[in-house]
A and B are shown apart, each in its own frame.
Chain A
Amino acid sequence: MEEFVYDSVYLSSDDFREGRVLFEMWEPNARYAWDAGVAISRYLQGLKAAKLIGRSCPDCSRVLVPPRMFCESCFYPTDKWVTLRDTGTVLTFSRCYITWDLIQLEEPQMPAVIEIDGASSGMGIMHMLGEVDPEALAIGMRVRAVWKPPDERSGSITDIAYFRPLEE
């Protein structure tokens, strides 16, 4: 099959730095203002009031978070707002030492999927962990939301600063 592999031309980073090849640069100016929608607007209002809000499906009885106006499993309208607790269980986590553009971080970011108490089993949201030794993180760890002070909350997922281990 070797004869059916085209010998494409490889360029090195130096070819660009030293201007040995021709190219064109472009920076897009694209800005967006996304509507939060019906279900997520209510979710964000809840966050502003330091509450996690879910939504239940009358057909499969799942309590869904993030909330949604229809159940994607039953394809049926959901019908009840449910106030969840602000505690949960770490389903999985990472310790991330780089930014998306590969800049090294001294202290790792600790993203996690957290199953929220009061929602159905396996219903997690993505958030950050904090106030914990990165090496002490474990799947199954119980955590609680650390809310920003009321005057700093804006109706955003970042109204929860992070989740920290729960002393039980």
Chain B
Amino acid sequence: MTGDRVAVVGAGMTKFVRRAQETPKELSWEAAHLALQSCEMTIDDVDAVVIGTAPDAFDGVHMKSEYLSDGCGGWGKPLIRGYVGGGTGVFAAIQGWYHVASGLFDTVLVVCEEKMSSCQPHPQAAFLTIFDHTTERPLKPNLLWIFALEMNAYMNRYGLSKRDIATVSVKNKRNAADHPAALLGDPDITVEDVLNSPVLAWPVQRLDVSPVTDGAVALVMSANHVARRVTDRPVWVEGVGWNLDTAYWTNRDLSYPVYVEEAARMAYDMAGISEPRQQIHIAEPYDPFDYKELHHLEGLMLFDRGEAPRAAADGITQRDGDLPVCPSGGLLGVGNPIAAAGLMKVAEIFWQLRGEAGARQVPGNPKRGLAQAWGDLMQVGTVVVMGV
């Protein structure tokens, strides 16, 4: 491991809701305030602030991190915003890590906020500009297309059915029923509900997709000497990795996320993990769509290519299975305020490894977990491995 040892020592979040009355600043403050309170720190203990938030176009506010900065505790402090699309939430924790690991700062407050509901009539409008303006946008694409195209390529490569994939949505929405911040927890949802939901862009159906959401999440990350003073249960960042594939997405093999594998290899190397299937006890891969959880589990090398659906069907990824996956309820269940959703996954690993996840607690005292996010033009992977 390079640099100083860095721990997550506190976490807080807002409820994830379809439309919050709070402004983005107010949401940011709510999460940051609770994260500091959770480790009995104040803003005076914070040396620098990292902000993660997705496109400015959601809010119609240019340089959104400057707008958000006071709600994030950034007044009078070194502040940075990283932005890698949907990968931002986990990347913000990576930035928090290297701010501290570098020795520059003792304690960093990491705040991720997203308010998607402001964008009218639908926040998809903000996403349409990711397509190439000359070679693609004249075809009037909509964002669902690329997910549908990728999901179909994945299903075709391994001969998967919709039923094989729908189990993920069911698991995550059921898990979310135990999450106090969840927007779409549902203890009674069934595979038939998913298969009977309206077809949006085949093979994507309504219940394969995570909801538009508002929310914020914050973490406090500290250097070894501070972490040991403020808590007796620090959760150490053991490895970080991130990687980007080509922006020519139609030139890639959409059935396998190579960039997630590269990000995972970087994080595993740093964490000294040679057998991820034995050494990772909980995983929170990015699940904006049900097939993405499976796709990412394969990219993370936690299952062989094409095998994650069978593992899900066999119950291995249930909260009490051999490898609990998205015990939080994930984006499909808790909600998907883009950057905040990624950081929620890091927070979930923090709570799980401390044994503080309440009704969601994974049995067996897990010692090591992983959070992963994904984004941009389906091309970026961000991974954090944490342990106690």
Q: Determine whether A156 belongs to the interface, using a CB cutoff of 8 Å to chain B.
A: yes
Decide if A100 touches B124 in the complex (CB within 8 Å).
yes
Decide if A111 touches B139 in the complex (CB within 8 Å).
yes
Q: Determine whether B18 belongs to the interface, using a CB cutoff of 8 Å to chain A.
A: yes
Q: In chain A, residues 63-81, which have Cβ atoms closer than 8 Å to a Cβ of chain B?
A: 64, 66, 68, 72-73
* Shortest distance from the beta carbon of B384 to any chain A beta carbon, whole Å: 18
Chain B residues lying within 8 Å of A126, measured Cβ to Cβ, are 135-136, 139, 141, 145, 149, 250
Q: Determine whether A123 belongs to the interface, using a CB cutoff of 8 Å to chain B.
A: yes
Name the contact of B135 in the complex, choosing from A21, A43, A108 (C-beta under 8 A).
Answer: A43
Q: Determine whether B17 belongs to the interface, using a CB cutoff of 8 Å to chain A.
A: yes
Q: How many angstroms from the CA of A128 to the CA of B181 in the assembled complex?
A: 41
- Given A100-B128, A124-B250: A8 and B30 within 8 A (CB)? yes
Decide if B150 touches A92 in the complex (CB within 8 Å).
yes
Q: How many angstroms from the CA of A8 to the CA of B20 in the assembled complex?
A: 7
Decide if A9 touches B21 in the complex (CB within 8 Å).
yes
Decide if B60 touches A28 in the complex (CB within 8 Å).
yes
Decide if B11 touches A94 in the complex (CB within 8 Å).
no
Q: How large is the interface on A (under 10, 10 to 19, 20 to 34, 35 or more residues)?
A: 35 or more
Decide if B134 touches A101 in the complex (CB within 8 Å).
no
Q: Determine whether B153 belongs to the interface, using a CB cutoff of 8 Å to chain A.
A: yes
- Given A4-B34, A9-B20: A95 and B134 within 8 A (CB)? no
Chain B residues lying within 8 Å of A3, measured Cβ to Cβ, are 34
Decide if A124 touches B21 in the complex (CB within 8 Å).
no
Q: In chain B, residues 344-385, which have Cβ atoms closer than 8 Å to a Cβ of chain A?
A: 351, 356-358
| Residue in B33, B35, B145 with the greatest tally of chain A CB atoms within 10 Å | B145
Chain B residues lying within 8 Å of A25, measured Cβ to Cβ, are 120
Closest to B16 in A: A8
Decide if A101 touches B13 in the complex (CB within 8 Å).
no
* Shortest distance from the beta carbon of A157 to any chain B beta carbon, whole Å: 5
Q: How many angstroms from the CA of A25 to the CA of B60 in the assembled complex?
A: 11
Decide if B200 touches A96 in the complex (CB within 8 Å).
yes
* Shortest distance from the beta carbon of A51 to any chain B beta carbon, whole Å: 15
* Shortest distance from the beta carbon of A127 to any chain B beta carbon, whole Å: 7
Q: How large is the interface on B (under 10, 10 to 19, 20 to 34, 35 or more residues)?
A: 35 or more
Main secondary structure of the interface of B (DSSP, over half): mixed
- Given A11-B20, A64-B251, A91-B153: A1 and B31 within 8 A (CB)? no
* Shortest distance from the beta carbon of A37 to any chain B beta carbon, whole Å: 8
Chain B residues lying within 8 Å of A37, measured Cβ to Cβ, are 134
Decide if B121 touches A139 in the complex (CB within 8 Å).
no
Chain B residues lying within 8 Å of A93, measured Cβ to Cβ, are 149, 152
Chain A residues lying within 8 Å of B21, measured Cβ to Cβ, are 8-11, 21
Closest to B351 in A: A1
* Shortest distance from the beta carbon of A137 to any chain B beta carbon, whole Å: 9
Chain A residues lying within 8 Å of B35, measured Cβ to Cβ, are 4
Q: What are the interface flags for A148-159 relative to B under an 8 Å C-beta threshold, 1 for contact and 0 otherwise?
A: 000000001110
Decide if B20 touches A139 in the complex (CB within 8 Å).
no
| Residue in A8, A64, A73, A156 with the greatest tally of chain B CB atoms within 10 Å | A8
Q: In chain B, residues 192-227, which have Cβ atoms closer than 8 Å to a Cβ of chain A?
A: 198-204, 214-215
Q: How many angstroms from the CA of A98 to the CA of B136 in the assembled complex?
A: 18
Decide if B358 touches A97 in the complex (CB within 8 Å).
no
- Given A6-B14, A125-B135: A113 and B254 within 8 A (CB)? yes
Q: Determine whether B122 belongs to the interface, using a CB cutoff of 8 Å to chain A.
A: yes
Decide if A113 touches B12 in the complex (CB within 8 Å).
no
Decide if B251 touches A124 in the complex (CB within 8 Å).
yes
Decide if B149 touches A5 in the complex (CB within 8 Å).
no
Decide if B128 touches A123 in the complex (CB within 8 Å).
no
Those 8 A-B pairs whose CB atoms lie nearest each other, nearest first: A94-B148, A100-B142, A6-B30, A96-B201, A9-B21, A92-B153, A124-B250, A10-B17
Given A28-B60, A113-B149: 20 more A-B contacts, CB < 8 Å: A2-B180, A5-B14, A6-B33, A8-B14, A8-B215, A11-B20, A21-B21, A40-B134, A40-B135, A66-B132, A68-B248, A94-B145, A94-B203, A96-B201, A126-B149, A139-B152, A157-B134, A157-B139, A158-B138, A158-B139
Interface residues of B (CB under 8 A from A): 11-15, 17-22, 27, 30-31, 33-35, 37-38, 60, 120-122, 124-125, 128, 132-136, 138-139, 141-145, 148-150, 152-153, 156, 180-181, 198-204, 214-215, 246-248, 250-254, 351, 356-358
User: What are 13 A-to-B residue pairs whose CB atoms are below 8 Å?
Assistant: A1-B180, A1-B357, A5-B180, A8-B27, A11-B21, A12-B19, A72-B246, A92-B156, A94-B144, A94-B203, A126-B250, A156-B138, A157-B134
